[in-house]
Structure 1
Amino acid sequence: MKKITLFLMLTLSFTVTSQVKLDTVKVTVANKGIRKSLTKTINTTVVSSKELLKAACCNLAESFETNPSIDVNFSDALTGTKQIKMLGLTSPYLMITEENIPSVRGASQAYGLSFTPGTWVESIQITKGTGSVVNGYESISGQINTELIKPMKDIPFFLNAYGASDFRFELNTHFNRKISDHWASSLYLHGNTRVAKNDMNNDGFLDNPLGKQVNVVNRWQYSNPETGWVSFINFKYMKDEKQTGQLDFDKNRDKLTTNYWGSEINTNRFDFTSKVGYVFKDMPYQSIGWQNAYSNHNQDSYFGLNQYNIKQQSYYSNLIFNSIINNTMHKFATGLNFTNDNYSEFVNLADVSRIDNSVGAFFEYTYDNNDKFSFILGGRMDYHNRLGFFATPRLHVRYNPWEKAVIRFSAGRGKRAANIFAENQNLFGSSRAFSVLDTNGKIYGLNPEIAWNYGLSFTQNFKLLGKAADVTLDFYRTDFQNQAIVDVMQSPQQVLFYNLKGKSFANSFQLDFNYEIIKHLNLRTAYKYYDISTDYLSGSFQRPLQAKHRLFGNLEYETHISDNGHQWKFDYTWNWLGKQQLPNTATNSNPDRLPEFSPSFSIMNTQITRTFSKTFEVYVGGENIGNYRQDKAILGANNPFGANFDTSIIYAPVFGRMFYAGLRFKIK
């Protein structure tokens, strides 16, 4: 079905012949950048590579600027790292996978999305609510799965060069070779660097880090439809170096001193993944697959006088068997998986290392009458050396009440061990004292997080003035039975970690309206409302740095493609963010205080692409072209080793307006 769907989304050419001679008929189907199915049981949005090309999309964290399902925010005033949220919850509550193998987790949680270049990505699947039990028990608010370009389908050569006004430069090259009818291999090379210092707000600190990254991937694919075997093998190596802090900071002279405030974050990572699958020849509905992954993530870093070093070695294995019960209306998937995480972690020389192991079994039943109704009922049982023995139930239901409409419902449970230091590294860029108040738990003294997620979604496709339109309403609620609270509301000189003592919930409502205004001119809009509240020691507050109201708009226009491949593409995106609850700064001295809520503001991005042939195109664009910047991005900037220093309270851009240009070249 996936292959059929893919081919239908592309341009189809065929010739009709009979006793009467007919001309060649060419049917062209528009390839949408974002696709929502009316027949899939789970509420999933597919983002194609076409959508990713509408923005510079230097890495995975920057791939969601034109997608209303994901909120993109900056995590701090120093690293320039973008943090994503879904249903109002930050990325640790998402399961982030690469080709359905867990990828961004544990030590890589803060910066891992920036380790996958956008040009490697074939498509992204965004699932709202609890995902499938096949992929694990950690997903709470959703799942983001990235599919990389497949060697069997890749072109022989691809080049992407990029440069921006913030002095960031990037180069991507892809080499692909079909070795035989059944083997193909790809080599991807990525490098980026920022070579100059920027201080647009004149606070004496870099707005973006200096740095460089080298990223290499070698992919192998084997496919033999005659025997039913298919496999993928991937080798990855990544080296990422960042330096930030005061303009006059010299890492060779000032590291871990009070001469000037500075920071370095140096990461080395190696990954190996393999996937082997077999489809039974006489039973094409029956298959077995085995996924394996090993990763070695090593980060050495310091933030002023705070030191944070973490090394994570992980092994993951998942065995999956798919088949049917009597007929293809009744399908099931079952299997076993195992995960081992070895953390060597030091927080200001305090050793908080640990080893986590888990083993689990799952079963997922799917009923689909291929007409109006389907459901997926899944459950898994896991044993974790720290989380204990527990069950994870999940349910997804789809119903089509009338033509071109779908109603979906989902409910499920998630459980996870919060890596409180790795997930909150932005707080190291402050003078806050870190305190863990609970001591009886097995994860830094805390107990595991447990949450239930419930969701209801309605989508209707229709014609408006003869043009295609659709509207979607989503409502999701997450109730935490237990949560690792990161408390920045008690005092601006402290961050407290403790397990939830009262209530914590997240309500998310989203209304999407999409419309083809005229041929080739498409409008995408969304309104999002978040009611997210947590009981802290000092009272109940909205989730800090989360806008309660958000508006999104996107306009895209493409000219007709000429026979020689000439085309213009225009894209414009507008985001409006309402006021946001800010962390407590009331006891700071007057110059270093912030109001209780941030002001509302808008951000506009745009890009123009000119295609000169089927193999060459150039693009220019701008981010934050309205030049909105946050006032007082760094508290205590004039005294970075004082009690009020804090770089983590970021609700808006720091750098301001940024322009970029690039080119893409292909050999087909």
Structure 2
Amino acid sequence: MKKIIYIVVMLPVLLFSQDNITGKILDAYDKTREIGLAGANVYWQGTEVGTVTDIDGNFSLSYKPEYRKLIISYVGFKTDTLTVNAPKKIKHWLQPSDNLDAVMVKSRKQTTAKSYYKSANVINVSSAELLKAACCNLSESFETNPSIDVNFADAMTGTRQIKMLGLTTPYILIATENIPSIRGASQAYGLSFIPGTWVESIQITKGAGSVVNGFESIAGQINAELVKPSTDDKLFVNLYGASSERLELNTHINTKVSDKWHTGLYIHGNTHNGEHDVNDDGFLDMPKFNQINLMNRWQYTDTEKGFVSFVNLKFLNDEKQMGELDFNPDTDKLTTNNWGGEINTKRYEISTKFGYVNPEIPWQSLGVQTAYSSHKQESYFGLNTYDITHNSLYANAIYNSIISDSRHKIKTGISYTYDHYDEFVNAGALDADFERTENSVGAFFEYSFDNLELFNLTAGVRVDHHNLLGEFITPRVHARYSPWSKSAFRASFGRGKRSANIFTENQQMFSTSRQINILDTGGSVYGLDPEIAWNYGVSYLQGFNLFGRKADITLDYYKTDFKNQIVVDWETPTEINFYNLDGKSFANSFQAELNYNVFEHVDLRMAYKFYDVKTDYNSGRLERPLTSKHRFFTNIGYETEHNETKLDFWKFDATFNWLSDQRYANTSANPTQYQLPERTPTVATLNAQITKVFSPKFEVYLGGENITNLRQSNPILGAEDPFGANFDSTFVYGPIFGSMYYAGLRFKLR
């Protein structure tokens, strides 16, 4: 195994390259902001040698003395021809086409983008898309995106849970600037620990991700890019208030320290102390909470020498209280006076990113990522106690280069991960400390072939040695073929492997009276084996004109096939059982999506999704509980006209979701009054928001969530007897609170 790792790391040394030019293609509409044009074509005149700019407008292209004329083209912009006499770095601004101003405006304001040129199925979500909803934190940032499902995990904590391809958060690699961040102890609530205003953009990758980011992802990857001190507003203030009595304040303060150094202080606070019981079951419909979240971010940039680096320092304190209206933690904690609970979390993080591009050999670069976090949660739920301390260290070194010319790109490197978990569980008959240490070292190699607009291939492999999971190989492949204009056929497959954190990933079980059982088979993680799955997927993207307006349609099909899974079995009403899979477990996902520019400034997005998610339980093969088979989604957005001279305008946005019925876990063994039907009712919700932009500095917004006022009438089973054997708050299929309205303002100084 050591020899394999050595070969993977040293392979690039054996490869060769030739002269290249690199550069960046920018939008000349606003030269002060240097907005890169993603997907611009850059090629040598009279040859098939060319490339496409990345999401930031960067490109790298091989050079030969006989290549003299460089062509740069982009839809809605004038095509330029540059004379190049030697390898050099190019920064070029493309001018908008005089007769295509409207196209240019739509392209510049595109809020969600899919590439026709990348091998992976990636959806880029911009900050403008995030502003279509309140987006108080990352868990609330997917309401207008049909690829991600959002629902509540239970009736107590108010935790939003996301799903991709029919699978929940633990099977999705969630990263912050490509550093894994929501994992381990933060799986349950970590999405609410990243404020929405800190997010500059989100990249959603369906299916197998990249080997560069590790071996754990199975259903896909979500990466959140944070705002940069050098490009963010000098001062940004966002004030938010909701009818639920939730208040939130976000403040960004950015400073230019020197020509090379910038720093930013980001302050987030939110509070909710209202007591609401709309369904009259005696329990809070949403928890009380207080959160303070701080980040100090430093950025160093030296373009002449090719250095870029970031240092992030973060602190979080999050406090939640849930339970009965009459619950008083000072007198009722861990007693049968009233049912209630608290979740108190403190988290410290430091992360660094270092990048170097050799000015003399610009197609070669080196990146180093490091992160350390300390996460401590102390919590109790009625008479159940759960505490966890998780210390984590992550390091990743990445080398980028080319083979022969820019069509052949490589990435290689090594990574190290350390995790120490210390958990205490006191729930019913289970009263024990659980402690483990995981560490892994791995090496990866990824090759990419890019033949301009016709074909892309990205093939990667990584080799890892893990103290509990053993030694294993992770392959992942993405391919894209475009037989005609504005088309992209994609296929991918890959393997994922992970250790399941059964307690922290399923904390909703503590808000029940269920007995927790671990069916120990001698596995390496609390008696259980690692989870292993293969993901396969195909996708087709086609752009076209419909009645003279731009449109595109996407068809996706993905299959996740588990070789082993830790089955979370809720099928016995008074128990929850964890055991290794004996049989099959799979998640099949199909999605059809249409994006259409209906009229000038009016955009429509419609989607249909179908899930077939089943597992072989001890009681037989069943649908995964509370997973809707069918989902219809519609989002429509409208902006009034605005330009350089007319800076004030209105924005309107509405999102409709419909979910088919879902299977309840079996309750037939309960007494009659605690039995539920086999399936839930359907769910239909409508969200809307209106924004008035007065100037580039100031705007206000007003919105509503669940305007249809749908409410689940019985989210808590046995609410009248919370310390009885049938108490359960996990049967949540829809909203509990009903309609919620909010308003806010945004103020910024550039």
- TM-score class, shorter-chain normalisation, is over 0.9
2:188 alignment partner, one of 87, 90, 110:
110
SS of 1:29 mapped into structure 2: helix
Contact 2:174–2:181 (CA under 8 A) maintained in structure 1: yes
Contact 2:269–2:293 (CA under 8 A) maintained in structure 1: yes
CA shift, 1:77, in A, is: 0.3
2:695 and 2:359 map into 1 onto residues whose CA distance is 43
Q: Does 1:331 align with 2:409?
A: yes
**CA distance 1:70–1:437, shift in 2 (3 Å):** same
Deviations 1:157-200 (A, max 9, x none): 00000000111100000000111111100100000000211111
1:125 alignment partner, one of 180, 186, 203:
203
Aligned position for 1:322 = 400
1:498 and 1:119 map into 2 onto residues whose CA distance is 40
1:268 and 1:96 map into 2 onto residues whose CA distance is 20
1:623 alignment partner, one of 694, 700, 705:
705
**CA distance 1:315–1:633, shift in 2 (3 Å):** same
Aligned position for 1:515 = 596
- In the superposition, the TM-score normalised over structure 1's length comes to 0.97
Aligned position for 2:71 = none
Deviations 1:610-642 (A, max 9, x none): 111111110000000000011211000000000
1:44 alignment partner, one of 122, 131, 134:
122
Superposition map of 1:623-662 within 5 A: 623-662=705-744
Aligned position for 2:555 = 473
Q: Does 1:597 align with 2:675?
A: no
Aligned position for 1:506 = 587
Structure 2: segments with no counterpart, 5+ residues:
1-21, 27-34, 39-55, 57-74, 81-94
2:346 and 2:612 map into 1 onto residues whose CA distance is 39
Contact 2:236–2:252 (CA under 8 A) maintained in structure 1: yes
1:2 and 1:75 map into 2 onto residues whose CA distance is 46
Q: Does 1:441 align with 2:528?
A: no
Aligned position for 2:68 = none
Aligned position for 2:575 = 494
SS of 1:588 mapped into structure 2: coil
**CA distance 1:467–1:564, shift in 2 (3 Å):** closer
Deviations 1:15-65 (A, max 9, x none): x9xxxxx99969543211110000011100000000000000000000000
SS of 2:36 mapped into structure 1: helix
Q: Does 1:66 align with 2:144?
A: yes
Aligned position for 1:464 = 546
2:97 and 2:190 map into 1 onto residues whose CA distance is 49
Q: Does 1:414 align with 2:443?
A: no
Q: Which amino acid aligns with 2:714?
A: K
Contact 1:564–1:614 (CA under 8 A) maintained in structure 2: no
SS of 1:344 mapped into structure 2: strand
1:29 alignment partner, one of 70, 92, 105:
105
- In the superposition, the TM-score normalised over structure 2's length comes to 0.86
Q: Does 1:223 align with 2:301?
A: yes
Contact 1:524–1:553 (CA under 8 A) maintained in structure 2: yes
Aligned position for 2:244 = 166
1:367 and 1:611 map into 2 onto residues whose CA distance is 44
Deviations 1:574-593 (A, max 9, x none): 00000101111111122221
Superposition map of 1:205-354 within 5 A: 205-348=283-426, 349-354=431-436
1:455 alignment partner, one of 537, 546, 549:
537
Aligned position for 1:526 = 607
2:439 and 2:96 map into 1 onto residues whose CA distance is 64
Q: Does 1:384 align with 2:469?
A: no
Deviations 1:371-414 (A, max 9, x none): 30010110000011110000001110010011000000000000
Contact 2:215–2:496 (CA under 8 A) maintained in structure 1: yes
Q: Percent identity?
A: 58
Aligned position for 2:89 = none
Contact 1:173–1:190 (CA under 8 A) maintained in structure 2: yes
Deviations 1:197-236 (A, max 9, x none): 1111000000111110000000000011100111000000
1:382 and 1:526 map into 2 onto residues whose CA distance is 39
2:175 alignment partner, one of 68, 81, 97:
97
1:558 alignment partner, one of 639, 657, 660:
639
Deviations 1:291-339 (A, max 9, x none): 1000000000000011000000000000111111111111110000000
**Over the residues paired in the alignment, what is the CA RMSD in angstroms?**
1.8
Contact 1:564–1:613 (CA under 8 A) maintained in structure 2: no
Aligned position for 2:621 = 540
CA shift, 1:2, in A, is: 10
Q: Which amino acid aligns with 2:339?
A: W
Runs of 4+ in 1 over 6 A off after TM superposition: 9-14, 22-26
**CA distance 1:459–1:90, shift in 2 (3 Å):** same
Contact 2:539–2:554 (CA under 8 A) maintained in structure 1: yes
1:38 and 1:523 map into 2 onto residues whose CA distance is 20
